[in-house]
Structure 1
Amino acid sequence: MLLCAGALLPTSLIAGELTQYQASYDILRKGKNHGEAVRELKKLSDNNYELTYHSNIEWMIFSDSREETSKFTYKDGKVTPHHYNMVRTGTGPDKDYKIDFDTQNKVVTSSTSEYPLKCEWTDEFQDAISYQVQVREGLKKGETNFSFPLIDKKGNRRDYNFEVTGTEMISLPIGNVEAIKVKRLYDNDKRQALAWFAPEMDYMLVRMWKGEKGMEQFEVQMNSFTVTQPVAAPAAVADKSDASVEAL
């Protein structure tokens, strides 16, 4: 059973807070399901949140399981990351690394380095998944271009740039969704990344597509979505046929 579009979110949210939720996704390659992913946002305390993204992929002899966690503050529409962790197991070497953003001393530290990273501090820093929350907040304001400085696992600064290319109706396991299409801008045209965010679902990420040299690498499609925070009134329930309605 799936929630219909009009009941996916509480009718009134506390101003200045993020919607807490759990969303599940199918991970596809050439139309075939090769894994699953779960994205969850929780409120920890006033202005403090935790976003997790856990995925499992099996494809031929390749396997990949990873969990990413971002702890951040959200205030006045701005996401400020404080801690990021990624654990990966599967084919090839396992990985486990952490990045901390010390906003008071304005330094970034990594579990792979003994000393603070040699990067010029900016209050605009995002981590590998917190920026997705900031994209959603920008879309709510009608913004069409985004640029975020990120710190990657090697401790290097990388600028992530995006632009809105339009809106379109897409078909997903959860139903038909009218979504805003966002394109990541690379330095060359060898890689492509697209994401779709649904305004009716509080601008949730409902589909993602990545490719290289025009060839699909994988696609992610939402198959379920649940608001986990208390709501004033119970949500209506409808079957899949009535449902209409996300990482880069």
Structure 2
Amino acid sequence: MAVLQLKTLSLIAGVTSAVLLTGYSSQTLAMSPFQASYQFAYNGKNLGSATRTLSQSGNNWSYVFVAKAGGLASATETSKFSMNNNQIVSSSFSRTSKVLVHNNTMSIKFNPAAKTITTSKDKENRSFAWKAGVLDELNAELQIREDLKGSGLKSNYLLADANEIESRKFIKQGSEKIKTNYGTFDTVKVVMKHDKPGRETIFWLAPKLDYLPVKVTHQDKKSSYGLLLTSYKGMSK
């Protein structure tokens, strides 16, 4: 059970990082710091909480996702990057997770000068060729928001993980009104398709909160997981 909870926490953190939608933004707004809190549920039962925090120091940005499922499991993901003409330049990504007394770690270092990306996952090291515009699981979400408010979405986004660079695509499926503990929001519904059957991830993003995900669900065969917004501090329209 604890292992499933931990996988859920990391999965939701990662997949929420790359959301695709169109048509709601009426003006360009610069990216700004925020903090959002969520309720975490497994198979319809509330088991824990999660937070997303974006902070800034000059042109150095940090995006952190923290999730906890009681005293059994926890996960933290951190993305560090800079901005260049509204484009994210990835610097590093890390993930630490814990189930009871068992710890797991993963890190990515982006080195455009050397044209390499180096990764380390539970002491296994890899290196592969760097590509322009490559993102990590967290900052991809922020890049998509910037694109939506600017020149428009790309046909795909390149994301690095521990083993390779992957291309991600998402499908818009209309709009929906979502009720949360923080309020009710008009949202855009976006579905991420998975290669494996029986899996589906859905995001609901609120333009009023600068396209913040206010709800996320993931179905993996007979298991279901979800996040629902409970509080928010940051930009709103």
In the superposition, the TM-score normalised over structure 1's length comes to 0.75
What residue is the counterpart of 1:94 in the other structure?
A: 103
**How much does 1:211 deviate?**
0.7
Correspondence list, 1:133-144, <5 A: 133-141=142-150, 143=152
SS of 2:145's equivalent in the other structure is helix
Q: Note if 1:173 corresponds to 2:147.
A: no
What residue is the counterpart of 2:24 in the other structure?
A: none
Structure (1 or 2) with the larger CA radius of gyration: 1
Match of 2:226 among 215, 219, 222: 219
**How much does 1:85 deviate?**
0.9
What residue is the counterpart of 1:242 in the other structure?
A: none
**How much does 1:217 deviate?**
2.2
Distance 1:166 1:87 in 2: 35
Distance 2:115 2:124 in 1: 17
Q: Note if 1:198 corresponds to 2:203.
A: no
1:70-99 deviation per Cα after TM superposition (whole angstroms, max 9, x unaligned)? 001123221221110111111473112221
The answer on whether the counterparts of 1:149 and 1:159 sit within 8 Å (CA) in structure 2 is yes
What residue is the counterpart of 1:49 in the other structure?
A: 61
Distance 2:179 2:50 in 1: 18
**How much does 1:142 deviate?**
8.1
For residues 144 and 98 of structure 1, do their structure 2 counterparts lie closer, same or farther at Cα, with a shift above 3 Å needed? closer
What residue is the counterpart of 1:75 in the other structure?
A: 84
The answer on whether the counterparts of 1:107 and 1:116 sit within 8 Å (CA) in structure 2 is no
The answer on whether the counterparts of 2:66 and 2:76 sit within 8 Å (CA) in structure 1 is yes
Correspondence list, 1:1-248, <5 A: 17-46=30-59, 48-58=60-70, 63-91=72-100, 93-112=102-121, 117-118=127-128, 120-141=129-150, 143=152, 147-153=156-162, 155-213=163-221, 215-227=222-234
Distance 2:125 2:68 in 1: 33
**How much does 1:205 deviate?**
1.5
**How much does 1:19 deviate?**
1.4
Instruction: Tell me which amino acid in the other structure corresponds to 1:177.
Output: F
Residue segments in structure 2 that go unaligned for 5+ positions in a row: 1-27
What residue is the counterpart of 2:20 in the other structure?
A: none
Distance 1:67 1:137 in 2: 24
For residues 116 and 188 of structure 1, do their structure 2 counterparts lie closer, same or farther at Cα, with a shift above 3 Å needed? closer
1:110-159 deviation per Cα after TM superposition (whole angstroms, max 9, x unaligned)? 234787613x3211211121111122223334856752222223x22232
**How much does 1:212 deviate?**
1.6
Distance 1:185 1:68 in 2: 23
RMSD: 2.6
State how many pairs are aligned. Answer: 209
The answer on whether the counterparts of 2:112 and 2:130 sit within 8 Å (CA) in structure 1 is no
